[in-house]
Amino acid sequence: MSETKAEIIVPKSGLDYALTYLVPEVFLNLLQIGSPVIVPLKSRKTYGFVSSINSAYPSKSANLKKIISISKNSFFNQNHLNFYNWLASYYHESIARVLDTALPSIDAKNFHLLDVYAEYNNQNKNNKNLDKSNININAPRGNSNNKNNSNSTDVPVVSSIISSSISSPVPYSAISITDTATDTADYLKLTEDQLKAIETIKEPIKENFYKTFLLHGVTASGKTEIYLNLLEYTLSLNKQVIIIVPEIYITNQFIDIMKKRFSKMLNPHEFAIFHSKIAKKEKLINWFKILSGEIKIVLGARSAIFAPLIKPGLIIVDEEHDSSYKQESEFLYNARDIAVMLAKKSNSVAVLGSATPSLESFYNAKTIKKYEYINIKERVSGRYLPEIKIIDLKNEFKSNNLNNNKNINFSDEMLSEISRNETIENVNQKRQVLLFLNRRGFSTFIICKSCGHQFICKNCAVSMVYHKGKNYEKSFLKCHYCNYTEEVPKLCPECLSDNIEPYGIGIQKLEDKVNELFGDSAKIARIDSDIGRNKKIGSDIFNKMNNGMIDILIGTQIVAKGHDFPNVGLVVVISADSLLNIPDFRSAEKTFQMLMQVSGRAGRGDMPGNVIFQTFNSTNYVIQYASKHDIEGFFEKELSLRKEYSYPPYAKIITLRLTDKDFDKLQERAFFLKKIISESIKENTEFKKISVLGPSPCPISKLNNNFRFQIIIKSPLIPGEKNISYMHNFIDIIKNKSELNKFFISRKIVIDVDPDVLM
């Protein structure tokens, strides 16, 4: 006699393997890959997903527990599961944690939410003949008891989530694109470069073969119009599309564009917004409608890359260089890299778009031809790139101090004389000004001038940032890593002096200075992530900017991503070299990208624009190349440095990050790990190319009350050689060492494959 068993992946367990359960006979006709189930785990009930089925399992060979409840409809198919397993393997993450990140959140207590799709469509169809008892049969609902329900059975099942008889649109705001849509927007006249790009990318979409394109177009070159044409073509082939953007708030701009372009082509239920802010019910509805093929377009931030397409045709990654595509907690994935592999495994097309591509993507396209390179060098409508001036602040303040016999410093003034004059000139000409400073708060830190004490976050080894209160709000100190806040002390805790002052500049301080200088003659607004967190306020500021109701906008990096302000005549980068001092191998690249992106906000309308870089390091190659819009020159220089020091794209990097609340234990564990790594390299000649840096404290040596060490493992990447696999084999060997395995399971040691930063 045999019984059927099922392998169940339990997302909340964190395990890197599935658990085995027996399948009651009444569930057999419902069982399939991806079925959500309720199972017992130790002393509690939890949810999981079926990953394999074995119908010839000896019934007496083990005392297995049984599945408690099951949903008829699966969350994924075998192809999706294969991809999840690949992700777990590549990123050295447990399959449980991969599913916990990729799939909509459910748990044993709200398992009944799985019937929401059928219930919602039933309400919309107003189909009185559809028996509601058939939609939810004895589904677990907390303390509810269905035993007395005459329509229930002995089988606890959530019935059909996706029914072929229920297909009406779902008219709620999260997925509707026609509620305020205007007529279909006029199609813009395309440039020759745009037409060529579209035709080149169309071919593999039509022929169903994999290809990745790097779409490198200067700011305002019309990349969005290329996306829209490709999207329309892909839909005409009855294929699905994923578009991911770097920030959630940018989805709103794309929604508006979609409303205008596709209001007559798409039904509301063929479009989905997918990101972490979507409500749980709405995300479940979206998920199953994508899986059924009903939804054709998925738009969202990085998590949208996990949308379960069944007919993938096109995956677009806008601003592919952006760091926000890298998840820095729990499952440490890069959505851009996943997009490329997803396209490869599904014979579809990936388009990576950017005005400032990542060095890795540029290298893959231009040097080793792994991607196809498409370059759009000119702005649409013949608009010119802005002229960029460099203001050397060393000379600026030195000259002013000599002439005025004063001791003026940058943190007090912030705006050079030329920046002030050009701001006034643009405001007088009814052109808008954008002042860019990528530092939230009022000052970067506060210090006791009597003893030198600096106020450090109690949880992290970083300075607390001073935020100045407005109106009746109190000023406070805030850690921008763990969000811990405290009141500004009146006395120094070390020497009891009251001689405490803020130092450095933040965007609030800049706002005060700008109001002091121009408040009588200009309408001024500030936008940063502290303000933008309130969707209504953030949208209101951007709408006012677009409608000409703001003269001077002061912003952090939130203004550099994807915004199109056609009347901006001047952009001033207050501190162009601020990112260069970060101790990370990507600091030059990120500084260059930031400068080019924010510069691209100027001159996007009919009139040309100007940009000013204020810097204390005017001769630095990053500043120089950015001021000339010389992207290829910068890439050539930076690639030569990366090659010299063996950093990506010329090397594969995997970081082992160790954390513990006890510093001594952490340090001991770090050196023990290094010892095992060194021994493992010596034992196998396959690993002779691997080099090891560390252990050493991370640049941010304490975060969220945990001390941090890291070991950096590197190996050269040689074009044509398949030498990535041995790096992964090596990590697997280290991870599975009996004396280390428990630290990986407990996440005292975390593996970061292809780290974005080494902080």
Residue finishing a domain among 599, 621, 642: 642
Residue finishing a domain among 642, 670, 705: 642
The tokens of 219 are what? 């700011």
Residue 208 near residue 346, CB atoms below 8 Å: no
550 and 629 inside one domain: yes
pLDDT of residue 273: 87
Residue finishing a domain among 141, 158, 175: 158
- Residue 135 in domain: yes
- Residue 164 in domain: no
pLDDT of residue 441: 52
Residue 482 is assigned to a ligand binding site:
yes
- Residue 348 in domain: yes
Residue 492 is assigned to a ligand binding site:
yes
pLDDT of residue 506: 81
- Residue 375 in domain: yes
List helix spans (H) across 103-219.
116-125, 192-207
Instruction: Name the nearest CA neighbour of 345 among 370, 320, 312.
Output: 312
Whole-number Å distance between alpha carbons of 477 and 410: 22
- Residue 723 in domain: yes
538 and 395 inside one domain: yes
Whole-number Å distance between alpha carbons of 163 and 166: 5
202 and 267 inside one domain: yes
Residue 448 is assigned to a ligand binding site:
yes
Which H helix or E strand runs over 376? strand 372-376
547 and 491 inside one domain: no
Instruction: Name the nearest CA neighbour of 316 among 226, 249, 376.
Output: 226
Residue 660 near residue 720, CB atoms below 8 Å: no
228 and 276 inside one domain: yes
564 and 583 inside one domain: yes
536 and 448 inside one domain: no
Bridge partners of 307, per DSSP, are none
| Residue type (1 letter), 302 | R
597 and 731 inside one domain: no
Residue 11 near residue 97, CB atoms below 8 Å: yes
- Residue 531 in domain: yes
Residues in the chain, pLDDT under 70: 1-2, 56-62, 112-113, 115-187, 268, 397-412, 440-443, 470-473, 530-535, 562, 720-723
pLDDT of residue 632: 93
pTM score: 0.86
What CATH number does the domain containing 656 carry?
Answer: 3.30.70
659 and 628 inside one domain: no
- Residue 487 in domain: yes
610 and 737 inside one domain: no
The single-letter DSSP state of residue 205 is H
Domain of residue 124 covers 2-158
Q: What is the largest CA-CA distance in the chain?
A: 99
83 and 142 inside one domain: yes
Whole-number Å distance between alpha carbons of 690 and 678: 10
pLDDT of residue 134: 29
What CATH number does the domain containing 558 carry?
Answer: 3.40.50.300
- Residue 301 in domain: yes
Task: Please write the tens of the pLDDT for every residue from 535-591.
Answer: 677 778 888 888 899 999 998 888 877 677 889 999 999 999 888 878 889 999 999
Whole-number Å distance between alpha carbons of 541 and 55: 61
Number of domains within the chain: 5
Whole-number Å distance between alpha carbons of 651 and 646: 6
Instruction: Name the nearest CA neighbour of 391 among 245, 98, 610.
Output: 610
666 and 538 inside one domain: no
Burial call 533-563: b when 16+ CB within 10 Å, e when fewer: eeeeebeebbeebeeeebbbbbbbbbbbbbb
Residue 698 is assigned to a ligand binding site:
no
